[in-house]
Amino acid sequence: MPTMAQPSSPPPHAVSTWSGSAREEAVQRMFTAIARWYDLNNSLLSFGLHHAWKRRAIACVPSKPEARVLDLGAGTGDLAIGMARRLDPTGHVLAADLNRAMLQVGVQKIFRQAPPAPTTCLQMNAERLTLRDASIDAVTAGFCIRNVGDCMRAFREIHRVLKPGGRFVCLEFSRPVYGWLRGLYDWYSFYLLPWIGRMVARDRTGVYEYLPASIRTFPDQEQLCGLLKEAGFRTVEYRNLTGGIVAIHVATK
């Protein structure tokens, strides 16, 4: 893994407003620190709902012979494993993540699961995909895009590597559609979530303060539709899950 600069650590909430390499470096440090606890905390903090959210996202990807699917921000491998089960043995899943520590956990999980479709793990930056034009049938990204330095650059790269008619399925935290739910969610995100992160993951980097702040500054459902269309996608649709706490956007090239 390339050596990264080590500037002084910013307040976690400030990272969510950054872009470019400074944001990327700070986010990578935080996720490296919590990699071994990431799956446990995911289940605790989402009350286990993240499994259902991921199944819904996987169901949005058409299964066809010899399909090549790229899972961006694969992390600990949940979406990649689910996609490999959905595809037939002639398909191939590429599980890509920039963070080596997260990907190492994913490699171990994928090896234990032995999914039917071949799966290759790659260290790769979403903004600079080392793949040929029009070489991928579908791209998935689960809770990844919010953390990249330049969303539009990543969207254009995804559009570039997709075949005509290919789908990009983006599973991401979004804006709850009900006012009472937004208030409850904000209380949970800004007070309870960081406390659990510190207790369970022994996080001292502030990643569980960064995460809700990054959600607050991420485009909402309609804004994200607009950005995907600006990146060149022909049609974009979305569906809200759990009252809009999470949304799945499906963009077609």
Rounded to the nearest integer, the mean pLDDT of the chain is 87
The pLDDT score that the predictor gives to residue 15 is: 52
Q: How confident is the model at residue 140 (pLDDT cuts 50, 70, 90)?
A: very high
164 three-state secondary structure: strand
250 three-state secondary structure: strand
| pLDDT tens-digit map of 162-204 | 999 999 999 999 999 999 999 998 888 888 777 776 776 565 6
Contact between 106 and 74 under an 8 Å Cβ cutoff? The reply is: yes
Domain locations in the chain as residue ranges: 1-253
Count of helices and strands (H, E) across the chain? 11, 7
Sheet holding 136-142: strands in order across?
119-123, 92-97, 68-72, 136-142, 162-173, 246-252, 235-241
| pLDDT tens-digit map of 74-87 | 999 999 999 999 99
Q: What is the dihedral of CA 190, 191, 197, 200, to 10 degrees?
A: -160
Output the CA angle 54-223-219, nearest 5 degrees: 65
User: 182 φ, ψ to 5°?
Assistant: -60, -45
Tokens 């819904």: give the residue: 56
Most confident listed range (57-71, 105-119, 184-198): 57-71
The pLDDT score that the predictor gives to residue 19 is: 54
Q: Please count the residues of the chain.
A: 253
Contact between 131 and 158 under an 8 Å Cβ cutoff? The reply is: no
Mean pLDDT of 108-120: 85
Range in 21-35, 170-184, 222-236 with the lowest mean pLDDT: 21-35
Question: Which DSSP category does 148 fall into?
Answer: S
**Of the candidates 76, 121, 75, 116, the residue with the CA atom closest to the CA atom of residue 95:** 121
The pLDDT score that the predictor gives to residue 6 is: 34
234 Cβ contact partners less than 8 Å away, ≥ 6 residues apart:
252, 253
Choose between 143 and 37: higher pLDDT.
143
The pLDDT score that the predictor gives to residue 4 is: 32
Contact between 122 and 36 under an 8 Å Cβ cutoff? The reply is: no
pLDDT at 250 over 50: yes
249: β partners: 170, 238
What is the dotted CATH code of the domain comprising 1-253? 3.40.50.150
**Residue 245 in tokens:** 């706490």
